[in-house]
Structure 1
Amino acid sequence: MKEANSGDASTTPCISINGTPLDWSGRLSSHVDFHKDEILPLLQGRFLGYGIHGGVYETTCNGVQLAWKRKFCRYRIGDRERREIEIIKRLDHRHIIQLVGTYTHGPFLGLLMWPVATCDLATFIEDLDWFRRMDGAELNKDLHAGFFSVADSSDEGSMRAARLVALGIYSHLTVAEVIRMTAARLEHALGCMASAIAYLHYSGIKHKDLKPSNVLLSHNGLWVTDFGTATDFSILSRSTTESGERGTPKYFAPEVAAFAPSGRSADIFSLGCIFLEIFTLCIGYSLEETQRLRVHHDKSFQSNLDRILEWFNFGRISQREPSDSHLLGLVRCMIDRNPANRPTAQLVEEKLELIGGLCNTAESAPFFGSCCSTPMLAEQPAQAILPPDHSLLKREMTISIGNTYLIRPPRLNTYVFFIIQSIPDIIAEVHIFLFNG
């Protein structure tokens, strides 16, 4: 989305979506304060879902479908609403929702956003789990001729089938092929989400409420949305916050749950939890099996970390190829209890690309969609690898092995471990891959 003219962000005359100009208000302004007696120039379409403050509906402007979100703000727009608007306005990334226009109308604040998604990631995850739980006999039937006849017998099945078709999972495939394509689409989401969060963090913004329902999907894209709890670090004197909205308890980082100061690494923990849900489902576990790792306390990830790590260390984790072991190692780092030990979003993106190179697949980037064939990292300023004076090269350096853990049954003798170097300014990372022949 690009502004057609310069000027104040709240009164920009017009914007365009993929080359289509959108004067949604008819007043050549992206923001309008309507009188309470005025009729809004918007027609309410189909219901898209529930937001934190109410329903989200579809509307259309100049042939472009938009998501129409309304918030009840009593008698004025509050700081939270202004913050969300200002944050979204200055973001420009292929995996971040775009703000088309805003308005006030009596006690309501309206936001028009693009694109309109087919569903959110939470729903898509449940769809794959539902397909996996189908009777084995159904897996051999053609989706169009067989599955739809089964799906039509219940509203749930019909809706799930139609949703997958809308997402580009074609109806002529067998159910087994649909499961494979759905799992591949979920794995592509890993890199797309990492790219979005790397961009947010690079822009000085912490999301603070990362969860599958805040990730939207359509047949040709993925977008992170809902910035109502986001923090803009670019206007703060430090990069940690101590209070305010905290997000969703299931995906809280330990420091957030403890009401301690938290920074960008809290987003990494939440992202790691999402990665864990997706990965375990893709390698064959059901949602019910994954949920059994979170049976204690409030059933959040952070309050069940000991149980989850025990599963990492001693569980008989089903793995398809060597890359699975390394992806699990990355997830383990992302959900580390200590925020300082978690990787940055940029490093997560880089590691996903590296791990993807180990996959026995024809795809060049199995953890990224075709939209991310050119990494966002290339758009960021390059960083120097060595200090200008190269003085560190004259110092002695030691390398040791740390945090070794078993990830598969002992008889297979497969371990993952991390390299620790005494002068990290010289070697940023060391990757060693061991394979059992």
Structure 2
Amino acid sequence: MNTSSNSASILEAASSNVQVTRKGLPVNIFSSPADIVFSHTEYQSHKAVPFITVKQLGHGSFGVVDSVQMSCHPTGSLFARKIVRLRNMDRKRLLPIIQQEIEVLRRLKHKHIVQIVSTYETTSIPRQFGILVLPAGDEDLSHFLDRIEESNFPDREIGYLRKWQYCLTSAVAYIHEESIRHKDIKPSNIILKNDQVFLADFGSAHQFSSDLMSTTEGYAAGITRMYSAPEVLEQEPRGRPADIYSLGCVFAEMAVVMNSRRIDEFHEYRSEPDPNDPQKTTLLYAVTAHKIERWFRELGDTWMASLLADMLRTDPKNRPAAKDLLLAIEMHRGVVKCDCSGTVDIS
């Protein structure tokens, strides 16, 4: 088990972009996400935790998310922190879920996926488990789309969206190659730092194996129903195609803005009577996806209409793999290869 001082030195090094030595190996924490050294620490009290909150970022699947800095280096870089409260009765149940998220994130090394830096647990009541990742985004994709609408669809930001569709597809293709499913892809789980995009919040991520045919059954706690594939809502076996469906929902909202249209207008167009309560309407993509292709064809964006029709197919076996989506984007837009630098600036 690491000591508190050791954990602080690792994170302070990240915050100030200096060299540290751990187990005899000099490491520049900020040189690349692949070079980040993971650490775990136990603190006897909440006051001993060496971080100060800069901004509340919201609520994740199992806890609060905020932006923090080292208390001993308040002008240093920001970290995103997820805090999970562990009541004694829940600790045994929640810890495996938390540890699963950590193991998933530690395995992933991609320039468009957040990188876990450190974890800690407090032993005083109420017990807390903290997970720190880089980067702490400037905003999430949902807020970015709202801001573009308010700014009358500036060309530069529209260009970012076109690039980010490729970047996000690359990230999803990577996690699928690593035998990982995200399980909760949605705009608020996609964060932005400067002009770069990162897939975040693997709180519902789940490893799968080939002998299980890359599927699970039952209803997944913590998922977002609006962006869920039909098989997820129906508690049927699901695998990688469920991620493709959710990504297609995100792409649809990005493409609405790319076509200088407003998302609330899009939602109004595709709303349907709720199958469970005809007196109400629903925006679940699994219910309204059949309207999306027509929306984009009427706008004249026939390529996007066809792409989304493929990604949002009801039968998961008929959805394209992420690697095939990359090829489709390249063929349509030219060799778009993600032009984000190999070493991402996450300071």
Q: Do these two structures clear the TM 0.5 threshold for a shared fold by scoring above it?
A: yes
Kindly tell me the number of residue pairs found equivalent between the two proteins.
Answer: 304
Q: Report the counterpart of residue 270 of structure 1 in structure 2.
A: 246
What are the ranges of 5 or more consecutive residues in structure 2 without an aligned counterpart? Answer: 1-13, 15-19, 275-281, 343-347
Alignment of 1:133-172 (within 5 A): none
1:108 partner SS = strand
**Cα 1:247–1:6, aligned 2, differ >3 Å: closer, same or farther?**
farther
1:124 to 144, 159, 169: 144
Residues of 1 paired with 2:212 and 2:291: CA distance? 37
CA–CA separation in structure 1 for the residues paired with 2:208 and 2:168: 20
Which whole-Å CA distance do the structure 2 matches of 1:192 and 1:326 have between them? 18
Structure 1 gap ranges (5+): 24-28, 133-177, 320-324, 358-363, 374-437
Displacement of 1:214: 0.4
**Pairwise mapping of residues 17-416 of structure 1 onto structure 2 (< 5 A)?**
17-18=30-31, 30-36=39-45, 39-52=48-61, 53-60=63-70, 63-75=76-88, 76=91, 77-106=94-123, 107-132=127-152, 179-234=154-209, 237-243=212-218, 244-245=220-221, 247-296=223-272, 297=274, 298-311=282-295, 316-319=298-301, 325-357=302-334, 365=336, 369-371=338-340
Q: 1 CA distance for matches of 2:165 and 2:341?
A: 11
Shift in Å, 1:14: 7.2
Counterpart-to-counterpart distance in 2, 1:89 and 1:288: 37
Q: Normalising by the residue count of structure 2, what TM-score does the alignment of the two structures yield?
A: 0.79
Q: Which amino acid aligns with 1:329?
A: S
Displacement, 1:185? 0.9
The 8 Å contact of residues 208 and 246 in structure 1, kept in 2 or not, is answered as no
Label 1:234 to 1:372 Cα distance change in 2 as closer, same or farther (>3 A): farther
Higher strand share: 2
Let me know the Cα RMSD of the aligned residues: 3.0
Whether the 8 Å CA contact 1:99–1:111 is kept in 2: the answer is: yes
Name the SS for the 1:370 alignment partner.
coil
Q: Which one has more relative contact order, counting CA pairs under 8 Å at least 6 apart? A: 2
Is the partner of 1:239 in helix, strand or coil? coil
Distance 2:326 2:108 in 1: 19
**Percent of pairs with identical residues:** 30
For residue 45 of structure 1, report the CA deviation from its aligned partner: 2.4
- The SS at the match of 1:64 is coil
> Cα deviation per residue 1:185-230 (whole Å; 9 max; x = unaligned)?
1111100100000000000001000001100101142110101111
Shift of residue 58, structure 1, vs aligned partner: 2.1
Q: Distance in 1 between matches of 2:243 and 2:21?
A: 33
> What's the TM-score, normalizing by structure 1?
0.63
The Cα shift of 1:330 comes to 1.5
- Following TM superposition, where does structure 1 have runs of at least 4 consecutive aligned residues deviating by more than 6 angstroms? 3-7, 12-15, 19-23
Structure 1 residues 64 and 269: alpha-carbon distance in aligned structure 2, compared to 1, 3 A threshold: same
CA distance in structure 1 between the partners assigned to 2:26 and 2:58 by the alignment: 29
In structure 2, C-alpha distance between the alignment counterparts of 1:344 and 1:22, rounded to whole Å = 30
The answer on whether the counterparts of 1:208 and 1:267 sit within 8 Å (CA) in structure 2 is yes
Structure of greater Rg: 1
Shift of 1:102: 0.3
* CA distance, structure 2, for counterparts of residue 32 and residue 67 of structure 1: 17
